Amino acid sequence: MFRLLLAAVLLAASPLMAQETVVVDLSQNRVEITATYSGSNIFVFGAVQRKAPLPEGIGPLDVAIVVEGPLETATVRKKEKKLGIWVNSEAVEVHEAPSFFTIATTRPLADILNEGDQRDYAIGLDYAVRPQGHAESGIEDFAAAVTRIRQEEGLYSQREGIVNLTDDTLFETDIALPANLVAGDYTARIYLIRDKNIVSDTAVSITVRKAGLEVWLYDLAHESPLVYGLLSLLVALVAGYGASEIFRRLKRG
Amino acid sequence: MQIYLPIAEVSVNLFVLLGLGGLVGMLSGIFGVGGGFLMTPVLIMIGIPPAVAVATEANQIVASSFSGVLAHLKRKTVDIKMGLILMLGGLVGATLGVQIFKFLKSIGQVELLVTLSYVVFLGLVGGMMFIESLNAIRRAGKTGAMPKKKKHSWIHGLPFKMRFRASGLYISVIPPLLVGVAVGILAAIMGVGGGFIMVPAMIYMLGMPTKVVVGTSLFQIIFVTAYTTLSHAMENFTVDAVLAVILLTGGVIGAQIGTRIGVGLKAEQLRILLAGMVLLMCGKLALDLLLMPSELYSIGAGGH
């Protein structure tokens, strides 16, 4: 959460900070992945609080909303042609790759926010994956591959112009969560932007967890693998016996 | 209806899975093969992680072979003594196989190993079956049956001989043990029962009579795949019970339909159809290895 801390420090120095702050809420901050989970929507809505009238000639207000899954390390492999066939050869560990990343904005991102802030606050698909410091040669290619592959899988997205802003005060949007969601702690970051600069921000956390039979099976498989394995076998044997019995009776009948 | 698989961690359409189970079950009913060699690659194609596909398929084969062996036990077409020897070899092979699998998973080559094994074995078995059934069909046109040669090879010179009454054999235990080990390794790596290797090996290498071959093969497959399932569950955490149950349900229904269709077809026609299918699958997998993939990069699990 270093980034959020940094955001707070930088914003304290901003002269606009006292004038506009953002208040936000979500339709739900708990997503349960059950056996029949097939994706869901989170409705994000909020308002802009103003303590003083705005100065003359100030630019229009924009909103950017980033929802991000837990940061994890992804092992990315590159295929190469060896002895005539394509095999995995080079492997690079890409750190700080969120399992899920989506950004929703009021207008095209490039038009509303400066590039430095996009990078520093990870606002935008180009900065979703942020490989750490040490400039390993070609790591950018691997990081870009993570973004590309996850975008294809529907896990990363950038949707510009889908945040509705009413009277420069109220805003709302729907964030779609895909069916192949990974459990963990998610965050929704909301930024108010004017004149290509962030004027206020806030963050809300979303808990995504498996529920019901799913969590029971997953925990059992990882915590008591022997019991889980035996149980799987038992189910298989019962099913096999059941099948042969049922069809024996059907043939007779 | 979408269903979220707890171990594979993907959401898949329930009816697609049921249909797949049913289709593969139907084919296995028609041709009398386990169908694992068809199911595992298809599961990988629809987006199930290869490691989960292999381990889960092993679990499903336990069920289908158990169901099959019950019928064979009633007809007394199982050579239990031979089955136990094959099983012994199979357990050793499966242990090796799971370790190889685990090692290759850690260095990111599991996909390659699984695909390569499939290309090689599907190619070999499919090719052999195709040529053989072509010859059989040609022969059927002429009159007179082929005289069966009694082979007396180096196998009969090996020590540790044992009598297998149900098969009417008196041979060394070394070849069945070795066949068991080889099939065990394949079962663990490819997520197959290995029937498609085991059955020809029993007929051509061990010289077992055809009527006990399928029952005995199924008998030992239960133990080897049960052991493989447990090992994968404990070492790789990759058995998806929900996926297995869905595939099973479809498979059981499909197998019964398939058995009925199979009765109406001639053996040579069946075999040439099966050979064609095996070769098709082999060709598809080989192309994946040979053609430049559209995405050169892939994301594996976090390596620590």
Q: What is the DSSP letter of B69?
A: H
Residue A101 predicted with pLDDT over 80: yes
When CB atoms are compared, the residue of B3, B255, B289 closest to A35 is: B3
Residue B82 included in any domain: yes
Higher-pLDDT residue of B14, B288: B14
Copy the structure tokens of residue B140.
Answer: 């059927």
Of A36, A87, A236, the CB nearest to B3: A36
| Domain-located, residue B207 | yes
In-domain check, residue B300: no
Number of domains in chain B: 1
Let me know if residue B299 belongs to a domain.
Answer: no
Query: CA-nearest residue of chain A to B256?
Result: A247
Closest Cβ–Cβ partner in A74, A86, A229 for B289? A86
pLDDT tens digits, B23-44: 888 877 777 666 777 788 888 8
* The listed CATH number (2.60.40.3880, 2.40.10.340, 3.20.20.70, 3.40.50.1110) that belongs to domain A2-210: 2.60.40.3880
**pLDDT per residue as tens digits for the range A79-99:** 888 888 888 888 888 888 899
Helical H segments across chain B, by residue range: 14-31, 36-45, 50-74, 80-106, 110-141, 174-190, 195-200, 210-231, 241-263, 267-290
Of all residues in chain A, the one with the smallest CA distance to B61 is A236
Q: What confidence tier does A227 reach under pLDDT thresholds 50, 70, 90? A: very high
Q: Across chain B, what does the average pLDDT equal?
A: 81
Residue B61 lies in a domain: yes
- DSSP run (H or E) holding A142: helix A139-152
The pLDDT assigned to A46 comes to 93
A1 has pLDDT over 60: no
Question: Which residues constitute the domain of residue B271?
Answer: 2-141+154-290
Minimal Cα–Cα distance from B86 to chain A, Å? 21
For chain A, the structural domain boundaries read 2-210, 212-253
- Residues 125-154 (B) with a CB less than 8 A from some CB of A: none
ipTM of the complex: 0.77
Q: Is B73 on the interface with A (CB under 8 A)?
A: no
Q: Where are the alpha helices (DSSP H) in B191-303?
A: 195-200, 210-231, 241-263, 267-290
Scan residues 266-295 of B and list those with Cβ closer than 8 Å to A. Answer: 288-293, 295
pLDDT at B162: 79
Whether residue B298 and residue A87 make contact (CB cut-off 8 A), yes or no, is no
Question: Which of B59, B108, B288 is the closest to A232 by Cβ?
Answer: B59
**Residue B6 located in a structural domain:** yes
Say whether pLDDT at B143 is over 70. Answer: no
Is the pLDDT at A16 greater than 50? The verdict is no
CB count, 10 Å around CB of B264? 7
In a domain, B301, yes or no: no
Instruction: Give the pLDDT confidence of A46-83 residue by residue, as tens digits.
Output: 999 988 887 777 888 999 999 999 988 888 888 888 88
How many CB contacts within 8 angstroms connect chain A with chain B? 182
Cβ–Cβ below 8 Å for A237 and B296: no
Count CB neighbours of A9 within 10 A.
9
Whether B175 is covered by a domain: the verdict is yes
Task: Answer whether B248 touches A (CB < 8 Å).
Answer: yes
H/E stretch holding A235? helix A225-252
For residue A4, name the pLDDT band (cuts at 50, 70, 90).
low
pLDDT score of B144 more than 50: no
Q: For chain A, what percentages of helix, strand and coil (3-state, to nearest 5) are there?
A: 30, 40, 30
Q: Pick B4's closest partner by Cβ from A33, A149, A244.
A: A33
Greater confidence, A28 or A252? A28
Scanning every residue of chain B, which has its alpha carbon at the shortest distance from the alpha carbon of A35?
Answer: B4
